[in-house]
Amino acid sequence: MEQFISFLSSHWMLSLGFLVTLILLAINELFNVKFGIPKLNCQNLTTLMNRGDVELIDMRPEGDFIAGHILGAKNIPQKMVMEKAATLKAEKPTILIDASGQQSALVGAKLRKLGFAQVMYLAGGLASWRTDGLPLTKGKS
């Protein structure tokens, strides 16, 4: 225990950074539970895409979208999703995609209030899609 306390006092910035990271991760998980927006892993998303009609909404900035996105995704930057919600089909499963999966639950909760019963998000965002080595397409959709 003395070694642990010695480590913490010697590396207080590292310890503080670790603690802040843990707190932020816990807050993120609480938001996800509170909003009740289901998250999908890449395999589940691929299965849904292969089964039928889903609406993929890529909420990243246009430049990031053009550099690489999931085939069939529509680019609606996060700050514009609520404005363009009327153009989306609320009866279809709507999958939200962001860069790392951190913002999608909040946007999903707002869409649910507008009547989107089947709103979900990609856990880990496009970063997890890339990590799994799944294909991306470039350019505008």
In tens, the pLDDT along 8-48 reads 888 889 889 999 998 988 876 776 666 678 889 999 999 99
Number of Cβ within a 10 Å radius of residue 98: 23
How do residues 100-133 score in pLDDT, each as one tens digit? 988 898 899 899 999 998 999 999 999 999 999 9
> Model pTM?
0.76
Residue 43 structure tokens: 């395999």
- The phi, psi pair for 56, rounded to 5°, reads -95, 120
Nearest alpha carbon to residue 121 among 62, 61, 81, 64: 81
- Burial class of residue 48 in the structure, from the number of CB atoms within 10 Å of its CB (0-12 exposed, 13-18 middle, 19+ buried): middle
DSSP class of 137 = B
- The phi, psi pair for 123, rounded to 5°, reads -65, 130
